[in-house]
Amino acid sequence: MPAELLLLLASPLAGGLVLALMGHRRRAAEVNAAFSTFTFAAAAALVARVVSEGPFEALYRQLFVDPLNVFLVALTAFVGMTTAMFSRPYMRIEREHGRVTDGGMRLYHSMYQMFSFTMLLVLTTNNLGVMWVAMEAATLTTVLLVALYRTHASLEAAWKYFILCGVGIAQALLGTILVYFAAEKILGAGVGALLWTELDTVKGRLEPAVMSIAFVFLLVGYGTKVGMVPLHNWLPDAHAEGPTPVSAVLSGLLLNVALYALIRFKVITDGALERPFASGLMMGFGLLSVAVAALFLSRQRDIKRMFAYSSIEHMGLITFAFGLGGPVASFAGLLHMTMHSLTKSAIFFAVGHATQKAGTQLMADIRGLIRLSPTVGWGLTLGTVAILGLPPFGVFASEFLILTQAIAHAPWAAPILLVSLGISFAAIFGKVQPMVFGEPSVARLRHRPALLPVFAHLLLVLMFGLYMPPYLAGWYRQAALLIG
Amino acid sequence: MLQHHGPQLVNLLASVMLLLAFAMLSQRRIISLINLFAAQGFTLFLSTALVAWLTGQDHLYASALLTLALKVIALPWILHRLIRRLNVKWDVETLINIPTTMLIGIVLVILAFNLALPISLLAGTVTKATLGIALACVLLSFLMMITRSKAVPQVIGFLAMENGLFFAATGAVYGMPMVIEFGIALDVLVGMLILGIFFFRIRERFDSLDTRHLERLKEL
């Protein structure tokens, strides 16, 4: 097993144990950031290896890395690292305000690392059963994080999150059992019949009737975690009530990881059915998510809830792009996944400081950020402009690609997308503008906000919008070919 | 003799599973609900062991023992302890009255059999007839989760759903590979422990475990 891959998985796992033992000592936050940085270094080394040597399998074929998952590994490790850096000062302030107990801080740091571990395991495992187990574990590690503040609303959000995602993930287990049932006929019983690489080679011979039923269960199951309408109810609550760094990783990473699981199954199902059944379902649900989320956006009063709905909208757009398929649309989907992760986590960082300043998450009570703290104000403004898809940011490039592909291959969908994007633009811009430029009403924050991660993310998004290095473009193209 | 009647015996155990699923749906007392859940786990253990013996699939014995340890002993024990420690009023309240729930349950069973039909036609296992019942158990547990207003019965519904899924795996494919079954069992156990902590937090905040307290977060 290559050392990079081993370290990638071992680092967050060890981090979780060390931080659980370390408790709430003063340096726990630094140790947390150090482990995440180390994980990112391992991910970078892994990328270098895959780029030079091509895809490979490891650990008796149980793990595998190809351009598609290594791109998400790099993204997950990167946002995991910046969020750990952001959470160091942020959570310290929360601790000083008395919103979190010492035990809560221990839980937070330990579970943060375990959550990274489960996500990286979902991404790198070749075994579809292990993928399920790790995905369920990702839910379990974040349930207590959502309820960290122990308020009425946060307990309710965590309960909803646990029950809805638990039921959803149970459907995904049924789907996985059915896929195993279809594969076992060709590959024989045993772990081999659950390996994605094995399934990929025999996908044309899998029983179509079983695979189509299986995919419906998998779509409902993993779709719940992606936050697809109408299975999205847990998402705004969990994002709004958890601590901000948790909102950032839930929105920026977990949704991507769940969608990744769905993509892997889509490739096999499309291969088995020889007609675009899985793709059609993904396009339909994606479009529904975009439209419904756009309508809900204008009715939000809580800033974190509003950006949670914006996540539903963007995940819908990405699901639609993958459903559309073809090299360009899949390329655009992958690019949008990256752009959304970076931008949305940057927005949550800025929003975290803004709400800490104002002491409320209600948008009506947050005014005049730019005068009180130019960095927070500019961070929020630029993040919002980027997520709304204005040039020159990268989100514009990916959204533009998705729209042109929709016009070319599914013209009926294009008006729905355009109208929804227009509505959400009006809703979000109309609400963020007075928060930033209005008459100040919020108190001055004593602590210096740590906004380096915000601007680092936005700079990357800007770079993707202006200039995409050829090797990156080539890498995305390779990954897109795997999706088909 | 047993070899000959084996498949029928598996079917008999399957009907006991279904019966227990209905019994749980109609049960009002929490202690009895936990006992019914343990009984369902025990039936699952018996049928898995029987299928293992009939087919000579050795890994199913391990799966059966796992079921015995987790679903018959560990989880009911944890639940009983939780009930005692939490010390809240424990009559199960339902959101829809029980006869209506039972009627909906019957519709779900018919639906499950229809859904399972194409799959069990393709299955080569001696247990393929049980697949419909397994799906019915999953749907009935789901119904139980929806119709109960207290947190603990909802969780028992969730665990019973896991029972149904394991039963489906045994019926369709003689169980999942062992690694996966262990992984699933670990997730269920950890989930239960986390919920244990969670119950105390809910109670500490609301003095009750009624999830109707948890309905404040709504769209405007």
Mean pLDDT of chain B: 86
Distances (CA, A) of B65 to A3, A276, B61, B125: 37, 42, 6, 21
Q: What is the DSSP letter of B148?
A: B
Q: How far is B157 from chain A (nearest CA, A)?
A: 10
Provide the sign of the torsion angle of the four alpha carbons B189, A231, A84, A135, taken in this order: positive
- Percent pLDDT > 70 in chain B is 92
Report CB contact under 8 Å: A194, B177: yes
pLDDT over 80 at A135, yes or no: yes
Q: What is the DSSP letter of B213?
A: G
A434: left (phi over 0), alpha (psi -120 to 50) or beta: alpha
- Dump pLDDT digits (tens) for A106-132: 999 999 999 999 999 999 999 999 999
The reply to whether residue B122 touches residue A207, judged by beta carbons under 8 angstroms, is: yes
Residue that has been written with the tokens 């633009």 in this structure: A425
Query: Rounded mean pLDDT of chain A?
Result: 91
**What CA–CA distance (Å, rounded) separates A273 from A284?**
18
Read off the DSSP letter of residue B127: T
Q: Are A311 and A362 in contact (CB under 8 A)?
A: no
Q: A193 to chain B: which residues are within 8 Å by CB?
A: 177
pLDDT at A446: 66
Kindly state the greatest CA–CA separation across chain B: 65
Element (H, E) at B164: helix B151-173
Residues on chain B touching A129 (C-beta within 8 angstroms): 176-177, 179-180, 183
Contact status, residue B61 vs residue B49, Cβ threshold 8 Å: yes
pLDDT band at A34 (very low <50, low <70, confident <90, very high): very high
Pairing of strands A63-65, A56-58: antiparallel
Report the alpha-carbon distance of residue A249 to residue A464 in Å, rounded.
21
- Say how far residue B159 (Cα) sits from the centre of its chain: 5
Q: Which tens digits make up the pLDDT trace of A200-240?
A: 999 889 989 889 989 999 999 999 999 998 888 899 999 99
Nearest CA in chain B to A299: B220
Please compute, for residue A109, the number of CA atoms within 13 A of its CA located in the half-sphere on the CB side: 32
Contacts of B158 in chain A (CB under 8 A): 163, 166-167, 170
Looking at chain A from residue 231 to 270, which residues have their Cβ under 8 Å from any Cβ of chain B? Answer: 237, 241
pLDDT per residue as tens digits for the range B80-127? 988 888 776 566 677 778 888 999 999 999 999 988 888 888 877 777
Read off the pTM. Answer: 0.94
**What amino acid is encoded at A121 in this protein?**
L
Place of tokens 């779709």: A223
Give the DSSP letter string of B29-77. Answer: BHHHHHHHHHHHHHHHHHHHHHHHHHHT-THHHHHHHHHIIIIIIIHHH
Q: What pLDDT sits at residue B91?
A: 65
Nearest-CA neighbor of A173 among A141, A220, A139?
Answer: A220
- Which of A82-96, A354-368, A380-394, B36-50 is predicted least confidently? A354-368
**Hunting for tokens 């209905």 — which residue is that?**
B22
In tens, the pLDDT along B145-167 reads: 888 878 888 889 999 999 999 99
A194 touches chain B (CB under 8 A): yes
What is the structure's pLDDT at B220?
45
Chain segment A396-420, per-residue pLDDT in tens: 999 999 999 999 999 999 999 999 9
Cβ-contact A444, A356 below 8 angstroms: no
What ipTM score was computed for the predicted complex, to two decimals? 0.90
A372 or B44: whose pLDDT is higher? B44
Closest among A60, A263, A182, A135 to B183, alpha carbons compared: A135
* End-to-end alpha carbon distance in chain B: 65
Give me B120's structure tokens. Answer: 């069990």
